[in-house]
Amino acid sequence: MPNIMGYTSIYLAESFGWSHHDNNSSQLFFKGHLHNTAYKSKNFLAQLMDHFDQISEQSNLAKIIDQLDGHFALIYQRKDLTVASVDRVRSIPLLYAKSDEDKWVISDHAAPILKHLKLASDDISKNAALEIAVSGFCIGTKTLYQNITGFLPGEYITISPKEEVLRFKYHQFSPWKGEQNRGEIQDYKHTLLSQTLKVLQKTIDSAKGRKILVPLSAGMDSRVIISGFKELGFSNLECFSYGRKGNHESYTAKKIADKLGYNWHFLPTTTANFRQIRNTKSYQEYLKKSDSLISTPVEQDVVTLHMMKDCDWARNGIVVNGQTGDFISGNHIPKALQTPSDLGSTQEAKNQLFSSIFSKHFGLWPSLFEKLEKQDFIKQINAELIEANAPDLTKENAYSLYEYYEFVNRQAKYVLGNQRGYEHYGFGWRLPLWDSEFIEFWESVPLEYKVNQNLYKNSMIEANWGGVWNSLLPAPTWVTPSYIRPLRFLGKAFCSPFGKPAWHRFENRFFAHSMDSLRKYAAVSWWDVASTSRPHRNAISWLTSLYLKSHNLNWDGSPKN
């Protein structure tokens, strides 16, 4: 894409949906969608650029960006100023760095910025590589390379010809706000239901007649999405499931779709077609363009999207998934932080907070985690909380500090990387459960209503949109393929004298690859997993090792010889 200002170079993946507008004295690169009425015309880029052209103070700049209702990334340039921003959840990543020529470089993926800066393995940050190896993402704004910086959610930067880059926060995710509220649960239920329908209606309006595609599972979040659309009377919708034939998720998904009267499509994933498609030029191009240098690229449904691109029912569709209702509604709050009165002291709450972060997010390779200098990570996490102006830790708000950490790191960096697959294969996307208004609602919900998703579950069961909440709960589960069941039984009996931990290690090593309904393990062979004695957490452990390998690193983040 063009660059008209000499002090900043911009490299963007044009196939990923960027638009460009210029008026000879300034230019704007924009990617995403906005719900604001003021920006709904075809020439909304010109209107938005006019607002930036009139900027004279930082406060005005933050206000303009904060008022953008949607998911986006943007880069604005004029002779005396460059502005780059991501949205409140960092749904679209950006990177920036300073080159040897004393100029700045901005990009949305790794390859062009690495090439421009002429970086090599020697420039890799050892700390960042270790963080990715053990968790799948970097902490804070660090990236895999020392000289490149990433964005946090709700952040923008400014660059001028004579100044260093300046970072600003225009919005802060603040889950601790719930401790200031103690309303009646019925009021929260009413607000939750109305807010859910509101963000889904915004999604319908923004689709402008395009078909909506819902990846449907047996879980709550996709059920909220599809039953909410039904409640609104929306019919221009197709739903789909994927994975191993006969898996329990697709079984319940089909029942939900049939009950609601929507078309349902199943795209089977086998080990053979996963590997065949993963080796295609298109898939490998996806891995390159989705490399943000800050987390492992998401591969959960990329094979499915590769197959969908040729389906008539999916053509020109907008994918609307349920990310990430389970996190924002409280399902990720660690058990140790769910009952403040049990924590005893503030110091115990602090210990449990860091213990919960480590056990949840630093265990891709348990043997590697055991060797970490944990105090260094604690210092980094504390620095993040200080920068966020988070309140001092108490027994009552420890859970919210945990939620903040997961949001700015795993959710915003790894989980939302899922959207890159949609873009790569030509699909639009929306994230209604990451809508700004929806987030603001959940920030206000106190702990007791979040624990075990009490508010979320009970509200949906009572509303029973489309009749898919009472009659289809609980969803049945079973192990596939069927041949693995007797083998698991024998393995469990063999391990029983050694306790549950031994059984779980045995199961993960010898059965997890075969039992993986979504085939994420298929990126490596069964023998790769079974012959490796070091324990791993899940398929992401292996996908992360492959990502590090693409940057000439070993599974533990150390340089290859």
Question: How far from 210 is each of 239, 316, 355, CA to CA, in Å?
Answer: 14, 7, 46
DSSP state of 1: -
Distance CA 74, CA 18 (A): 9
Structure confidence at residue 158 (pLDDT): 95
**Crossing angle for the helix pair 58-66 and 44-53, to the nearest 10 degrees:** 160
Distance CA 218, CA 200 (A): 20
For 385-404, write each residue's pLDDT tens digit.
999 999 999 999 999 999 99
pLDDT digit string, tens, across residues 407-451: 999 999 999 999 999 999 999 999 999 999 999 999 999 999 999
Provide the pLDDT for residue 473: 84
Q: What is the 3-state secondary structure (H, E, C) of 173-238?
A: CCHHHHHHCCCCHHHHHHHHHHHHHHHHHHHHHHHCCCCEEEECCCCHHHHHHHHHHHHCCCCCEE
Distance CA 221, CA 422 (A): 19
Residue 368 confidence (pLDDT): 94
The yes-or-no verdict on residue 481 having pLDDT over 70 is yes
Backbone angle region of 179, left / alpha / beta, with phi > 0 → left and psi within -120 to 50 → alpha: alpha
Please report the pLDDT score of residue 3 as a whole number. Answer: 56
pLDDT digits (tens, 9 = 90+) for 79-95: 889 999 999 999 999 99
pTM of the entire predicted model: 0.95
Contact status, residue 346 vs residue 522, Cβ threshold 8 Å: no
Burial group, residue 256, by CB count within 10 angstroms (0-12, 13-18, 19+): buried
CA angle 373, 331, 187 (to 5 degrees): 135
pLDDT of 154 > 60? The answer is yes
Convert the pLDDT of each residue in 344-381 to its tens digit: 899 999 999 999 999 999 999 999 998 888 999 999 99
| Residue 542 burial by Cβ neighbours in a 10 Å radius (0-12, 13-18, 19+) | buried
The alpha carbon of 491 is separated from its chain's Cα centroid by a whole number of angstroms, namely: 35
The string of pLDDT tens digits covering residues 443-457 is 999 999 999 999 999
Q: State residue 138 phi and psi, 5-degree precision.
A: -90, 155
Q: Which domains does the chain have, with CATH numbers?
A: 8-169 (3.60.20), 175-329+416-467 (3.40.50.620), 344-410 (no CATH), 484-550 (no CATH)
- Between helix 248-260 and helix 220-231 the angle, nearest 10°, is 10
Per-range mean pLDDT, top range of 150-164, 194-208, 466-480: 194-208
Q: 269-288, pLDDT tens digit by residue?
A: 999 999 999 999 999 999 99
532 close to 539: Cβ distance less than 8 angstroms: no
Tens of pLDDT along 290-338? 999 999 999 999 999 999 999 999 999 999 999 989 999 999 999 999 9
Output the CA–CA distances (angstroms, integers) from residue 549 to 177, 314, 483, 532, 559, in the order listed: 41, 34, 34, 17, 9
In 3-state terms, what secondary structure has residue 552? coil
Nearest CA-CA partner of 385 in 344, 414, 350: 350
Determine the pLDDT at residue 2.
43
Q: What is d(CA 469, CA 392) in angstroms, rounded to the nearest whole number? A: 40
